[in-house]
Structure formats: C-alpha cells, structure tokens
Structure 1
Amino acid sequence: MAPPLSRRFLLQSAIVAAAVPGVSFGTGGGRAAAATVPAPSTWSVRPFALKDVTLGQGLFADKRQLMLDHGRGYDVDRLLQVFRANAGLSTKGAVAPGGWEGLDGEANGNLRGHYTGHFLTMLAQAYAGTGDTAYADRIRSMVGALSEVREALRGDPKMLAVTGKWGGAHENVRGSYQYIDLPAAVLGGAAAVTLSVWVMPTHTANWQRVFDFGDDTTRYMYLATRNADGVPRFAVTTGGPGGEQGLNGTAALPLNQWSHLAVTLSGSTGTLYVNGSAVARNASMTLNPSVLGTLANNWLGRSNFSGDPVYAGAFDEFNVWSRALTADEITSLQTNEAKKSAAGLGDLASYWFAATDGGTFADASGRGLTATLRRTWGGPSHPGFLAAYPETQFIALESMTSGDYTKVWAPYYTAHKILKGLVDAYLATDDARALDLASGMCDWMYSRLSRLPDATLQRMWGIFSSGEFGGIVETIVDLYTITGEPDHLALAKLFDLDRLIDACAANTDILDGLHANQHIPIFTGYVRLYDATGETRYLTAAKNFWDMVVPQRMYGIGGTSTAEFWKARGVVSGSISDTNAETCCAYNMLKLSRMLFFHEQDPKYMDYYERALLNQVLGSKQDTAHAEKPLVTYFIGLKPGHVRDYTPKQGTTCCEGTGLESATKYQDSVYFAKADGSALYVNLYSATTLHWTAQGVTVTQTTDYPREQGSTITVEGGGGTFEMKLRVPSWATAGFRVTVNGGAVSGTPTAGSYFTIPSRIWRDGDVVRVTIPFRLRVEKALDDPTLQTLFHGPVNLVGRNASTSYLSFGLYGNAGLSGDLLPSLTPVSGEPLHHTLDGTEFAPFYEGTEDPTHAYFRRSEPKVVLGGTDAGVANPARSDGTTLLDEIWAGAPFADKGALVARVRATVSSWVSDGLLGRADGQKVITTAENASYEA
C-alpha cells in the first residue's frame, strides 16, 4: 500500500486547487481550445496560448518552416518502432531513427522513447501555431499506436504471426525480450536426439540462441545462430563454457531469409546441418540429453547467459525426435513440412507456430507439451506502464548507488518526455486516449515511488545521470491541474531533491561540478510545485538558482555548461572548449526564466529570454531543409574556429529533441497579459499577431527585428482598455522612443525596464511605433576582461575565420560620442548585421551555417587612439586588466565633444595620481582628445 497523505497536505492541496481559476494558460481565445490547463492564481501575469499568437514573416518564421516541413513529412512509424517492439507488436517494417533512439544506439539505446515524446510535443505546437490538421492527424495516429502498445504490455505476450516457410510463423521482434518457454520434459532424457528448426534471423548480434536447455551457466545445451565468429554453433556441457563439446558452422546465416538448422546426436557423434548439408561433425562427444537430465530452463530464443541477446527473428516448425535422423530425412525436411517429410513429426516435441495467435503453442507430438510465450522481464508492475523498454531500468535504479548509463540511463527523464508529449497531445487535440495514457503513467510511477523510503528517493535523484528526471515535475503538476487526482500531486513531491532545494533556498551555490541539464528543468517543476502547494522554499530556491547561472555561468549567447557540467561560479574564460553551451540547457533556462516572470515581472528574465532565444536557440538550428534529421546542435563550441555540428551523435540526441520543440514555439513569450487583463506586456519584438479575445482586439507587430531596429504595433478591433508595457532591453542605451499615432508618449524609458503606455481605450487602427537604436558593444568574460564577445543590439556577432587561435582586435579607435563601437567596423553591402574588421567577417550568431566561428576574441588596445588619432602613448592597464581607454569610454554616451574631453581629463588625472600613467603622457592623451573629431 502507498503511504497515506497527511491530513494537512490534503487540506492544503484542496484549498489551493479550489483557488485556481478554471481558465486556460492562454488568456486569449483564437481558435477554439481543445483542452486547457488551469492557470495558477499565483501568476501575476499569464501567457497566451500558441494558437492565439500567429508568427509573421521574418527570421523566426523562416527557421520554423524548416522544422514544420520536417515534422510534417517524417515517418512516425519509425518513432513508434521501439514502443511496438517492446510490446511484441509488429513494427510494420519501420527502422528506428538511430542515434539515441533505437536498440543500436549509445548505451544499447537505453534512452529510447524520449525522442517520440519530443516529436509529439513538436506536433502539438505545430498544430497550435499553424492550425494545419495534418499535424493533428499525426498526433492521433501516434496516440492510437501508443494505446495499442500499452494494451499489449498490460497482458501476457501474444504470438506475432508472420509469413513462414510453410505458411504461418512466429516472429520475435528485436527489442521485445520475448522467448518461448517449453515444458521440462521436452528432451525426454533421450540418449539420441535430433532437433530441427526453421529460422529467419533479422539481426547480426552474436550469441542469439535458437534454443537453450539448461539449469544455469554450467549445465546446458544450446544452438546459436551466430557465435563469436558469426556462424551457427551447437554446444553441450556439464562444466560451463570451458567444458563445451561443440559444432560450428562454416558460414553466417543470411538475414531476413529462411534457413533450416538441425542437430543430431547419436553415440559419440554429433552433426550440425545447415539447409540440409552437414557442415560440422564431432565424433568425440560424450554428452547428450540423458546425461544432462531434467533441466529447469527450456527455452526457444533465450540464453541461460543473461548478457546474451534475445533471438531476433522468426521461428517455423521446431521438432525434436528421440533418434538421430538420417541424412536423407534431413534432406526431406528442406522441401516438405515435417508432417509430410520422410522424418515425420518429432516424437518428443513438435510445434507449428501458425496454429495459434495467442500466447501458447500446442504440441503436435502427442505428448501434450504446450509451450508458452513469455517476456524475459515478466511484465509491468502496474497497468499504466508505458515505455519503449522494459521496466527493468526503473527497478534497477532503486538499488543503484552510482550512475552507469550503460545499465540505467535516466529512465524517469525518458518517462518525462513521453508524458509531456502525451499531455501536449491531449491539450492540442482533446484526444481522451492521450490523457488516459498520461494519467496511467503517473499512476504507475506513484505506485513505484510512493513505496520507497525518502532516503532511497534522495539517493536516486542525486545520481548522475541515471537519476536524471528532466522536467517531469512540471508536467506532473500540469496533469494534476487537469485530473485533480491527489496522487498526482503527491507524485510530483516525490521528486524533491532536498539537498539541492535547501542549498538554493539558502542561496548557497553548490552548482560547481553538477550536471547542468539534469538540474535546470528541476527548478521549473519546483516553481509549479509552489503554485500547487504554496511552499515558498520551491520558489525561493528557483529564483536563487537562476541568479547562480545568469550571469555567473553564462556565455554571451545565453548558453551554459561545459561538456554538460558546470564549473565554479564566475569561470567563463576558463571553461571555453569545443563542448560548451549544451542546447538543452538554453531550452530549459528559457522555460525557467519564463516561469519566474509569471511570478515576478523582473525585466532581467525577459532580457535573458531574448538573449538566449535570439542567439543560441536560433543559432542551434541549421538553415537547411532535411527530411530525416532536425539539424540541431548538441554542444556549441566557443573555442576559436569551431564548426557547429548539426547532426551530433548520428541524430536524435536530447538536444535535437528539445530543438524540435524550440523551433515550433518561437512565439510563446512575445506577449503576456496581467492576470486581471489590465495590461499587455510586449516582451519581445517579433513579427506576430496576437488575438486577444478577452479584450476584443488583435495586436499585430510588423517588423524585421533584429534586422530592423524597432517595431510597429497596430491594434485592430478597438474597445479594449489596458496598459501596454513595452520592454526596454538592458542593452538599449542609445535611446528608446515610443509614439502612439505619431505622438510621443510622455515618460523617460530606462534600459532594463518596462515602459508603460498608460491605460486607454484602444481604437481600431491605433499604431504604436517603438524605435530601439542599436549600439555595437562588447561583453567581457567574468574571469578575463581581455576575452570579449561582440554584440550589435541583441545580436551576438561572431567572426568567421578558420584560425584556431583567438583573434585579436581593437575597437576604440573610431568610437563615437555615443560609445558605439560600430564605426570601427565596415558594413557588408546587402548583408544586414554583417561587418568586417581587419579582414574578418562578423555575422549574426543566429545564422545556422557551418562556417568556422569565433564567438570570443582577444581585446587588444595597445595604444591610446581617440577619434582615429594616435596619441603616441601606450594604453596602460590596472591589475584587473581594465585599461585607461576602458575607463574613458565607460562614461559614454557623451552629450558632446566637451563632455568626452572632460571625461578624459578626469580619468587621466586619476591614473596619474595612482602612478599608472606619466604626467607627460597624460597630457598627450588630453591634447589628442581635444584635437580629434568624433562621430555622434
């Protein structure tokens, strides 16, 4: 029995649930919603549903279209292959995608099933964002198939009938872990014996057993389709592998073709036949079934050695005779069914696999030795179980003390992806089957985890990476808001990792050495647990955690992590490698930033959102169409000359999965509404149209941002009354101007805030114009100010250069009074946001090319140059690397030349006083500043 929930916990949950308004996360309307997740009362602003925000033409739409085409055309039977195989169902001839998604991938495909969940989410978002029913049809098809899979897993395995050598046959689908269990009397203790079988192997794994009769790994008799040399082998022993008496074939059996195998034992002679020909004979054999005696395990398709693969392929006609057939009788079996051959049916056992479509096989020998189809792992512990592999990974995790992904690779992470895909499928299509599958998965997880002591759970969730569970808490809480099942909320709390929560709640940074993407999505879930329970430690921990990553462990593009892990706080330069910025990390940091903004409208969250979305996330998608691969990066190396890999690890990694999702929800955070509907937040400048039915208006942004430095916002419909809050990016220090219908709006916009157009009755045709001049600026690595990355407004510019050493550039020489460094660069005609500097082209990071890039460069300002004039003075530096020119230009923007000269005088005076600059050299700098001319 599961431990009872406390009365206090149940009462608190009931109060919170009652307080949640029954409205969608989306605050608009648009197309009719299929289903909704109630919005928490704790959110002071709320997002709009994807269906309420239409993506217009531009950079984001172009990127999205590549993924939409991929999602529309990809064969979803390939995604379902591993699920169907696990259930013993026909895989319809589909081939698994490969990479991490399939039995042959890394760690034996121990993560299989995750990609299918991502794909379902992508389809749901594609349908919501476009209204194209082709995506909904694909969702329903996949949900139907997964329903069949769960139904098959709930019961005993059943025969999979295929075309056999003589009619019907039974197929063991690779990945089904199925075998045929024969009664103990099958060999009858015979001293002489013949075993005959038709096989059609479908995989080349060695040591697949056609049959294995034995007690353990000491006493057994087997026939394998392939030994270590890839040829058939028969062996019998009472002394383990070292005592085997064997017969080896001479050639490999062909795949996907029927082959006949037979073994005869008589006296001291054993013979192995392949397709009627004797390929091996041993006249010194002393072992036979009479010596072995009655054996415990009598199996077709399974080995007594647990590490050997289960036979993948089909069986037809397995016969056992209590004598050695003659060569002529073996020959007759090649052209006749056994019952019509010279040999006749086996007198010890005879199975026609076409005779049943259930889970048992009748014996035609007259001995009544009915065989039973079984799974090596038995079956699920709960009828809600759904996965693309056996429950054994989940079971093994419960006793693990350290991670080993070759044995257990994040089963609850995989479960999360499947669960999330099903919840999204339900919300998109209102398909009750998807909700039933999702709810069943949570019921199954609760049945397992609620029985475990808290110490066991804490140990499990702290293991890398076997204990990784992704964003499962968030999805479980979302499901709870739909189902209202107390066990679902209780399940979400079973994923508490107290060491992490308590440290972050106390603002104690313990992230150094942790696996980044194992921990980021945990906090999005904990924010949702705060929403559902009111326990403040969850929200406090999440806020503090965010500050430990941004900017402390953040690269300029918004990404984080090195080789999937975090280094110490503030180490940026010291962590740059070929394996920076795992793309999943950016995906999950965006989700967490968004979730925190719902609770506290701190502009820093949306500043980060723009940075990571516009740079890393867009740049992670290659600008190329591909039918088979989503073409999304895993890592984005920031070392000089790095070339992005858009097909990492042969495809279907975690990052390609999140990449499917990212590219179909670009519009999800452009607009939020205040919970009471009194304000509209415009968080991102993007060509979009918002259908806000609650206010009776349509809000359209027309812009080519970021290739345009601003946006035009048009309100249609009229009659709505609300404030419009426009995000003023923290980098927008060159001015931010707003007009309504051509008239300036009063107030002074402040970088890193929201500028408010006061509440008004909006009229049809009202036009808001936002102008955001860009500046070229640098951002310095926290631990090395000489290592810098270049930004033009929100856009990270990367050098395209094959050199594998850091490039060195100076930028102050032609800086204007505004502090803008752009005059030092030369624009490339016809290429927006492209510039050259000292022969190197700088281009937006978001362009998904395969050019070698330099995200960081060495800043070198060896001489004091002002307004293009060399002062003839070396540019001195303080011990922390800050130079004289750095301090001068830190005062920008300057109202006029006089203000700049005044800054130069004050800075020079300070440096002379500190003994860092000679008085004569200081005067040269001042004179140069006075005589030089500057752009505005």
Structure 2
Amino acid sequence: MQEFKLQEVRLTNGPFKKAQEADLKYILDLNPDRLLAPYLIAAGLPTKADRYGNWENIGLDGHIGGHYLSALSMMYASTGNKEIKTRLDYMISELARCQDKDGNGYVGGIPQGKVFWDRIHKGDIDGSGFGLNNTWVPIYNIHKLFAGLIDTYNYTGNEKAKEIVIKLGDWFIELIRPLSNEQIQKILKTEHGGINESFADLYIITKDKKYLETAEKISQKAFLNPLIKKEDKLTGLHANTQIPKVIGFEKISKLSGNKEWSDAAQFFWKNVTEKRSVAFGGNSVAEHFNPTDNFSGMLKSNEGPETCNSYNMERLSKALFLDKNDVSYLDFYERTLYNHILSSQDPDKGGFVYFTPIRPNHYRVYSQPETSMWCCVGTGIENHSKYGELIYSHSDADIFVNLFIPSTLNWKEKGIELEQKTKFPYENNSELILKLKNSKTFVLNIRYPKWAENFEVFINGKVQKIENKPSQYVSLTQKWKSGDKITVKFQTSTHLENLPDGSNWVAFVNGPIVLAAKTSTENLDGLFADASRMGHVAKGKYIPLDKAYALVGEKESYVSKLKNLGNMRFKLDSLELQPFFEIHEARYQMYFQTYTKENYKEKQALLKQQEIDALAIEAKTVDKINCGEQQPEVDHLYKGEKSDSGYDDAKFWRDTRSYISYQMSNKKLEGKTLEISFLGEFKVNNLEVFINDKPVEIISKNDKSIQFRVDTFELINLKIKSKDGSRTSKLNQIRILK
C-alpha cells in the first residue's frame, strides 16, 4: 500500500477545506524571522526580529521553527500557495547560513547549545523525564528541526534542506561517537521525540547504513523491551514521550526486517487504541497515560487528552496501515481525524487546542499567533495542512478510496483523475466521478467502514453485488471510461460507547462521529490564550460533576429517546446533541453518567460529597506542584541533579541524591504554609529544605507530609537537598495553603 503525494490530492468544499484555510491564515500570521531568531542567536549572527516569547524563550527555543518547516512543506504540497513556498525557501536559506557559521554541521536554537552539547560529547550526562543537564528536552527540540528539514525535502524536493539535514545528522553521529551504549540509553531517559525515526529517514534518503545503525542505537531499550514481551508498562508514563519512539520502532522494523520491533509497535498501538483512548480518539490525562481500569482522573481534570498525542497516533496508524495493508487501522485514524484533530482548531478565528477535557461542562483554550508557542501549536499547524494524505492510497495499478472527504485526485502517472463529491457526515453517501485520458482496466477499491450499515455501491446507477464485510474493501474491477460514476450509500446509527474502564460513563456516537451538547458560554476564562507558561489550560470555574446532565432509566431508552432533527442534530429532552467537531468557544458535555432510577439519588449524593471534598482542598491552595509531572514542574522552573521521577499507586513522584528546586508564587501573601507530601517509605532526617536560600524549620509533620511557614514570602525559591548523598523519600506534591 502506497500513499499519494499531497500534490496529487486537493480538498474541495467541506469542514476539512475550511480547517485547511484557517490553518493557512495562521501559518501566514507567524513571522519567520521571529521563529528563526533562536537559531541566529545560537550561531552568533544578528537577528532580524525579536524571538517569540512563551515556550520559545524559556528553554524550547527553536522548536516551533522545526514544526513550521513541516507545516510550510505540507501546506505548499497541499495547496500550491506561492507565499508559503517563498517562506519555506527563506527559512531554509537562513538555516543554511546558521549552519555555515557554526562550521561543524550543527544548527539549532537550544539555549547555550554549544556548552550543552559539549558536556554530552564528554559523557557528562544527568537527566530524567524532561530535563537533561537542566536543559528542557533538548533532543526532543532538535528532533523537530530534523523532522522539518526531512519533510521539506520529501514534500518539496528542496535539495538545500537535504544537504542541511545530512550535515546535521553527521554532526549528531560525531556527538555521540565517544559514548557507550549505557550512556546513550541514559540520555534517552529524557524525552527525545522521534529522533530514531529521523535517522531511519536519513537512511531512506541516502541509503547509507550508518544512519540506520544510529537509528537502532538511539532507540530506547528500556521502553522497547517490555513491548517486545507484550507487557503493558504504560500507565503513568508521559504519553507523547512514548508515541514518537514507537513510530521510529515501526519505521526501523520496516527497513531492517526486524519482526520483534514491528510486533512491539502493533502491541503498543492496540493497547493505546483499545484500552487508553476515549471516544474522540484522544488519550492521557495531564499528558500521562492513566490506569486502564480507572478513567476517573480524566473525568475530573481540566487537562484531558493532548492534541500532540493524537497527531502522533495518527502518524503511527498511517505507518501501520501502509506497512500491513490492513484497513482496520483506518477505523481509528478516521475516528480521531474527525473528532479530535478536526475539533482542535477554531474554524472561524483560528487557534489550536492543547487539552480537550472530557470533564462535563468544561471547555478548551485556543492559541494565538503572537502569544502561544506550545508543542500543540507546532503539531497544530501541521495537522490541518495534510488532510489529503490518506483520503486515497494506491498499489502499483489500483486505487483505494479510504475516507469520504470531498476532494479530487490526479494520478498523472496513470492518467487517472477522480472527483469525490460528498457531504458526509451530514449525508450518508458519496459520489466518485472518473476522468480518464483513455479507457483502462484497474481495480477501484472502496473502504467498507465498520460503522456503515446497509452499505451499497452503484456503478452508473446499477447496484453491485457486495459480499464484503465491514473493515474491508469493496473491489470494483472493470474497464473504466471517462465519466463513469460510482455512488456509495450507507446508513449510520447512534450507539452508546462506554469508557474503556467499563464505568457508567457513556458517549453518544453516530457512525464515526462523536456527538456532544453545548451547555454554556459563561466563565470561559482565558478562552484565547495569553503568553503565560500555562496559558493552554482552561482554568475557568469548575462546574461540579454532580451538576452535569445524567441519563436515568433503562439503558436501552437513552438512544431510543433521541429525536433526529436532521443535519447531524439530535434532541435529547432539553439538550441538543451535535458533532463534537462543531462545538467551539463553549462549555460542552461529551460523556454522561448512566443510572437506574433506583440508584440515581444515592449515587448522586456520593458524587456530590466527593466534589465538595475535592473542591475544598483546591480552594485552600494558592499554588501547587505535582512532582514528576512535566508541565507543573517546568512551569515552576524545575532544576535538579541526580534526580529520578516515577509513578507508583496512581501518583507521580520525584526524589534526589543531590538537590531539586522550584519557584512558587504566594500571591498577595494568601498562603500561610508550604506542605510537601511524600509517597512510600517516609523519612526526613536526610533532607534539608531551603526557601530563598535560607534553611527553614519544619513546623508540623504527619505520617506522609511536612509543613513550613511561608506567610512572609510572595516569591518562594524552594530547594530540597539530600544531606548525605543518599536518596530522599519520594516527593509527591507541594502545595502553598491558605
């Protein structure tokens, strides 16, 4: 199975075309010189504009520039827009200038990069999770540049991009040349994106085996080996740290013929899609994989599935589909495309979503070009530039129609053009019209989705006999002539889909489309993000879960009560359900609890008390850090040495044999005490606590926490040191309490 070039597919009117156009405007609103500034600074060249703020000047400097190359490349391939091409060529020429200035093949925007990389080259390595030598995910960062340069060459044929990335790859090989395998694996404990995939791509481009050997060498074995053994060790891991590694495993396995690695990638995909993904295709809570048997944390959180995760799960699904020629991978790809990816951009005002909460009556935040430089902005500008990638695919001679999206296909090599006219999901049909230079015989394969009912295919109005089953292709073989029309008709129905943990929370799904209810437009604090570090989180008022709409009665009645209003709208008592991808700038409810009439009052009373207890502790909290979680730690300027992090008993932790430090805020001096809570074996005799460089005394202690006075400090620089070099107890959470 092979993909068509993006140049061969064009979107026509519909929600995907509209999303592409909104993305195009956002891409053009970004200033290339501001994105290039970190690279110029690192190369010692004068900048032409100030670098962007937000994540682009607190450690991830340059990462959006790499994504920008990918987005420009794919948007140019998808649209032919000349301004996009001009920008892409300019970006490449400036990066070449930076690389030439450095002289050894390196180019990057990482702060103090030369000092940092020199330490790595010498084997001075201290890292875990998200900090490598107290630098924020530097290999993840430079992977974005590798990927952007490779995309520029693959999608547009830019030879200068190829030259730059080969030099950069050779620099990286020299960087790690003196390191042992153990030292390399130590580096890979820190999030590193899909750097192994990039070296596999370099092998594809050059056919030089040193790149494939490097790709294998920089694949993290501690993560790979359990997957090979079919062991589920994912719970508690930072989700988007893992998915790109698996894309690399899959690509390397395809190039090397390593079946173990291929099986590992398939095991991971199956685990995530079947056990860890919610109805709209997303996964994770606060960026981490939650327990497969308990989604309650996700239901309560304002940090639901992350868009980057779905971006990478789509990439993995595409790779597996093309490699295995298995149409079932498209079922997940399609579900996620319509419900998460399409919904992750404001279709009218532009802006990308980081977290999509499934907490009832919460909402999402949208990025802005001048304020928001998050990872999900980087993947966001890519997501909506490449919708044409899997609408169609092909073998040597035959065409496969995979998705019902209005578009045109021009397979110049074979002299075949195809136009697809459809209003799906608003109408359950699609029309395919062939335009051929000459009549010719080939197989036209049309995907029969697993959700489609009463699936029918007509050729020039004549119904065809179908013996295929859902999740297969209907293969039509004949001598086709220009003007032939193939019509596909089907039915969809609405069903309830439980969360993977089997709890009593359900979503309404019609065909592949997740339905939700718009519930309110009040208290949408920070709806369009400011430049703050955590501006991507919807921090507005929580509506208690016991105030959410619930389904009461016999389960069979929930769907039967739906009244079809047409145009994918459904009436459910006082609510109106509609496709989730249509709901924007509003609070919404996607998941509903189900109750029998007999247990409704009892269960609601219990839920109400749980909400009171949870909201009470948050009301007393001025600031908090979940130790061992990336976002809260980076937000609080984490630094440390000889520190490890992990996940035990559904809680995160961090310890140290040297020190860890954070910066916290005690706004208006509302906080009176600082509380540090611990997991597991608890001891305090081997640690010291400093606030603003002065040692502080414990004022209270219980079996799992210690407290300190902070009522005179508005800015708190907190440092926790091991007294004697032994490992401290596991810190779980730090709170400033009123």
Going from structure 1 to structure 2, the CA distance change for 1:396 and 1:566 (only over 3 Å counts) comes to farther
Which deviations, in whole Å up to 9, do the C-alpha atoms of 1:672-708 show, x marking residues without a partner? Answer: 112x32x322111100111123332111110111122
Instruction: Give the Cα separation in 2 of the matches to 1:617 and 1:804.
Output: 28
Q: Secondary structure at the match of 1:100?
A: helix
Which deviations, in whole Å up to 9, do the C-alpha atoms of 1:632-674 show, x marking residues without a partner? Answer: 1111111011110112994111111001000100111111112
Q: Which residue of 2 aligns with 1:427?
A: 154
Q: Secondary structure at the match of 2:473?
A: strand
Shift of residue 65, structure 1, vs aligned partner: 0.2
Shift of residue 841, structure 1, vs aligned partner: 2.5
Q: Does the alignment pair 1:418 with 2:418?
A: no
Structure 1 segment 85-100 matched on structure 2, within 5 A: 85-92=41-48, 94-100=49-55
Instruction: Give the Cα separation in 2 of the matches to 1:441 and 1:672.
Output: 32
Conserved? CA contact 2:41–2:109, under 8 Å:
no
Q: Which residue of 2 aligns with 1:137?
A: 86
Instruction: Give the Cα separation in 1 of the matches to 2:242 and 2:177.
Output: 22
Q: Does the alignment pair 1:807 with 2:549?
A: yes
Q: Which residue of 2 aligns with 1:767?
A: 485
Q: Secondary structure at the match of 1:713?
A: strand
Going from structure 1 to structure 2, the CA distance change for 1:553 and 1:813 (only over 3 Å counts) comes to closer
Q: Which residue of 2 aligns with 1:148?
A: 97
Shift of residue 430, structure 1, vs aligned partner: 3.1
Instruction: Give the Cα separation in 2 of the matches to 1:788 and 1:496.
Output: 38
Q: 1:637 aligns with which of 346, 349, 357?
A: 357
Conserved? CA contact 1:477–1:529, under 8 Å:
yes
Q: Which residue of 2 aligns with 1:49?
A: 5
Q: Does the alignment pair 1:663 with 2:619?
A: no
Q: Which residue of 2 aligns with 1:597?
A: 321
Structure 1 segment 317-336 matched on structure 2, within 5 A: none
Conserved? CA contact 2:360–2:589, under 8 Å:
yes
Going from structure 1 to structure 2, the CA distance change for 1:823 and 1:429 (only over 3 Å counts) comes to same
Q: Which residue of 1 aligns with 2:71?
A: 122
Structure in which a larger fraction of residues adopt strand:
2
Conserved? CA contact 2:141–2:192, under 8 Å:
yes
Instruction: Give the Cα separation in 1 of the matches to 2:202 and 2:138.
Output: 19
Structure 1 segment 103-252 matched on structure 2, within 5 A: 109-154=58-103
Q: Does the alignment pair 1:383 with 2:96?
A: no
Shift of residue 572, structure 1, vs aligned partner: 3.2
Instruction: Give the Cα separation in 2 of the matches to 1:428 and 1:748.
Output: 39
Instruction: Give the Cα separation in 1 of the matches to 2:115 and 2:22.
Output: 38
Q: Secondary structure at the match of 1:737?
A: strand
Conserved? CA contact 2:281–2:336, under 8 Å:
yes
Going from structure 1 to structure 2, the CA distance change for 1:86 and 1:827 (only over 3 Å counts) comes to same
Conserved? CA contact 2:39–2:107, under 8 Å:
no
Instruction: Give the Cα separation in 2 of the matches to 1:516 and 1:396.
Output: 28
Instruction: Give the Cα separation in 2 of the matches to 1:587 and 1:394.
Output: 29
Q: Secondary structure at the match of 2:100?
A: helix
Q: Which residue of 2 aligns with 1:754?
A: 472
Q: Which residue of 2 aligns with 1:101?
A: 56
Q: Secondary structure at the match of 1:801?
A: strand
Q: Secondary structure at the match of 1:550?
A: helix
Conserved? CA contact 2:496–2:559, under 8 Å:
no
Letter aligned with residue 838 of structure 1: D
Q: Does the alignment pair 1:715 with 2:671?
A: no
Q: Does the alignment pair 1:555 with 2:555?
A: no
Q: Which residue of 2 aligns with 1:838?
A: 573
Q: Does the alignment pair 1:586 with 2:305?
A: no
Q: Does the alignment pair 1:74 with 2:23?
A: no
Shift of residue 587, structure 1, vs aligned partner: 0.4
Q: Which residue of 1 aligns with 2:342?
A: 618
Q: Does the alignment pair 1:399 with 2:125?
A: yes
Shift of residue 585, structure 1, vs aligned partner: 0.4
Instruction: Give the Cα separation in 1 of the matches to 2:415 and 2:129.
Output: 54
Structure in which a larger fraction of residues adopt helix:
2
Q: Secondary structure at the match of 1:735?
A: strand
Q: Secondary structure at the match of 2:506?
A: strand
Q: Does the alignment pair 1:444 with 2:166?
A: no
Taking structure 2 as the reference length, the TM-score comes to: 0.73
Q: Which residue of 2 aligns with 1:490?
A: 213
Q: Secondary structure at the match of 2:91?
A: helix
Shift of residue 514, structure 1, vs aligned partner: 1.1
Q: Secondary structure at the match of 1:561?
A: coil
Conserved? CA contact 1:725–1:754, under 8 Å:
no
Shift of residue 836, structure 1, vs aligned partner: 2.9
Going from structure 1 to structure 2, the CA distance change for 1:484 and 1:387 (only over 3 Å counts) comes to farther
Could you tell me the percent identity over the aligned residues? Answer: 29
Taking structure 1 as the reference length, the TM-score comes to: 0.58
The number of equivalent residue pairs is: 569
Q: Does the alignment pair 1:852 with 2:587?
A: yes
Structure 1 segments unaligned to the other structure (5+ residues): 1-44, 103-108, 155-381, 816-820, 864-872, 875-936
Instruction: Give the Cα separation in 2 of the matches to 1:848 and 1:86.
Output: 42
Conserved? CA contact 2:456–2:466, under 8 Å:
no
Instruction: Give the Cα separation in 2 of the matches to 1:625 and 1:619.
Output: 13
Q: Secondary structure at the match of 1:853?
A: strand
Going from structure 1 to structure 2, the CA distance change for 1:580 and 1:813 (only over 3 Å counts) comes to closer
Going from structure 1 to structure 2, the CA distance change for 1:95 and 1:759 (only over 3 Å counts) comes to same
Conserved? CA contact 2:293–2:502, under 8 Å:
no
Structural RMSD (CA): 2.4
Instruction: Give the Cα separation in 2 of the matches to 1:828 and 1:78.
Output: 48
Letter aligned with residue 49 of structure 1: K
Q: 2:249 aligns with which of 521, 526, 531?
A: 526
Instruction: Give the Cα separation in 2 of the matches to 1:388 and 1:776.
Output: 49
Conserved? CA contact 2:404–2:422, under 8 Å:
yes
Q: Which residue of 1 aligns with 2:708?
A: none
Q: 1:478 aligns with which of 162, 185, 201?
A: 201
Conserved? CA contact 1:745–1:757, under 8 Å:
no
Letter aligned with residue 304 of structure 2: N
Instruction: Give the Cα separation in 2 of the matches to 1:543 and 1:558.
Output: 17
Q: Which residue of 2 aligns with 1:824?
A: 561
Conserved? CA contact 1:775–1:822, under 8 Å:
no
Shift of residue 810, structure 1, vs aligned partner: 5.0
Going from structure 1 to structure 2, the CA distance change for 1:600 and 1:486 (only over 3 Å counts) comes to closer
Q: Which residue of 2 aligns with 1:934?
A: none
Q: Which residue of 2 aligns with 1:880?
A: none
Structure 2 segments unaligned to the other structure (5+ residues): 521-542, 601-738
